[in-house]
Amino acid sequence: MFLRNCWYIAAESREVGREPMGRILLNEPVVVYRKEDGTPVALEDRCCHRRAPLHKGKLVGDKIQCGYHGFTFDATGACTYIPGQERVSASVCVRSYPVVERHRYLWIWMGEKEKADPSHIPDFHYNDDPEWAAVGACLHVDANYLLLVENLIDLSHVAFVHASTIGSADDTNPIIKNERSDDFVRVIREAPGIACTPSMAAVGFAPVIDQKKIITFTPGSNIWIDIPTRDAVPVEGRNQPMERRVMILNAITPETERTCHYFWANARDFDLESQERSDFFLKTVTFAFNEDKDILEAQQRNIELDPHAGTVNVNADWGGVQAVRMMERLIGDEQPRRAANVA
């Protein structure tokens, strides 16, 4: 069961063009494409005739034609053409979804349409703000999306999973502050005087750094990780300690109960014009997030072997536990409304 009344990322903007693209989101098949003027469209990817995926068909102007028997649907999901018959009943249609393009993503609303308010789209402006330079990608992960939420909120794993990439094996005893309200969970990890991470060493930081990680979760599954880093020891020829900021944007869209689409971006406030720096972060973070994928998929397999095997919670789990509880509460709150709407 998923939270439906919220914005999820359906695709990166660059993935969607005049070729229909099919993707399963929240257990529903969705096809996305662009109209001739570039406006994005999101429709149920299941023809109402015999359930063929519409993305296997083709675009005819702004409409999509099923590749099986040629039923043709407009951007609202209404069927406008059935080969061999003149009359098309209004009941012949597929579902359409509100979709908004913002911050280099297509955001989709899969809940009650009248509640779709674009002002609630997560603030991922770092992805297209001229003060920042961002790289990113979409990673498919064979694990429940909440495992990834826990992973991103509890960064105690970084010293172990990512010691050779974006982590420092030294970062095991941070000062932690926790905050929460009804609609966010925040964990602040402060690690003064740790050995520099390999990725920050490549940027030119001193061998010892002060690094903070401000992790903010909001539902559905959006996580900002703000990482200010500073030299903690003098560097020859440098009058001022170097200070830089990296912002990692994460949005996870459930695919099924046991798989998800992980959209991430790594934005930085330095070397904005440097392609070399962009290439470096794309390569390093892709490698690091595949380290997460590896452990999450192994974790998912273990969970499926015995879903009732016990677990323990420790101090570092506070944020993940709060986020999962928040999601359970919000999903629970939606159930009576959805039942009432169906009735």
Which residues of this protein are in contact with ligand FES, per CB under 6 A?
A: 47, 49-50, 52, 66, 68-71
Interaction partner, residue 69 (Fe ion, ligand FES, none; CB < 5-8 Å by kind): ligand FES
Q: How many CA atoms lie less than 13 Å away from 181 in the CB half-sphere?
A: 4
Interaction partner, residue 292 (ligand FES, Fe ion, none; CB < 5-8 Å by kind): Fe ion
By C-beta, is 73 or 107 nearer to ligand FES?
73
CB of 282 closer than 8 Å to CB of 268: no
CB of 25 closer than 8 Å to CB of 11: no
CB of 181 closer than 8 Å to CB of 285: no
Nearest distance from residue 89's CB to ligand FES, in Å? Answer: 14
The answer, yes or no, to whether the previous bond of 310 is cis (omega within 30 of 0) is no
Q: Does 44 bind Fe ion (CB under 5 A)?
A: no
Report the amino acid identity of residue 146. L
Q: Does 292 bind Fe ion (CB under 5 A)?
A: yes
Nearest distance from residue 247's CB to Fe ion, in Å? Answer: 16
By C-beta, is 71 or 132 nearer to ligand FES?
71
Interaction partner, residue 198 (Fe ion, ligand FES, none; CB < 5-8 Å by kind): none
Q: Does 150 bind Fe ion (CB under 5 A)?
A: no
Q: Look-up: residue for tokens 């050995």?
A: 195
Q: Look-up: residue for tokens 């015995």?
A: 306
By C-beta, is 231 or 292 nearer to Fe ion?
292
Closest CA to 214 of 153, 290, 289: 153
By C-beta, is 68 or 318 nearer to ligand FES?
68
Strands 243-256 and 259-268: antiparallel
By C-beta, is 171 or 292 nearer to Fe ion?
292
Nearest distance from residue 205's CB to ligand FES, in Å? Answer: 57
By C-beta, is 56 or 212 nearer to ligand FES?
56
Nearest distance from residue 10's CB to ligand FES, in Å? Answer: 22
Alpha-carbon gap, residue 46 to 53, rounded angstroms = 5
Structure tokens belonging to residue 209: 């750094």
Euclidean distance between the first and the last CA atom of the chain, given in angstroms as a whole number: 19
Which residues are near Fe ion by CB under 5 A?
A: 292
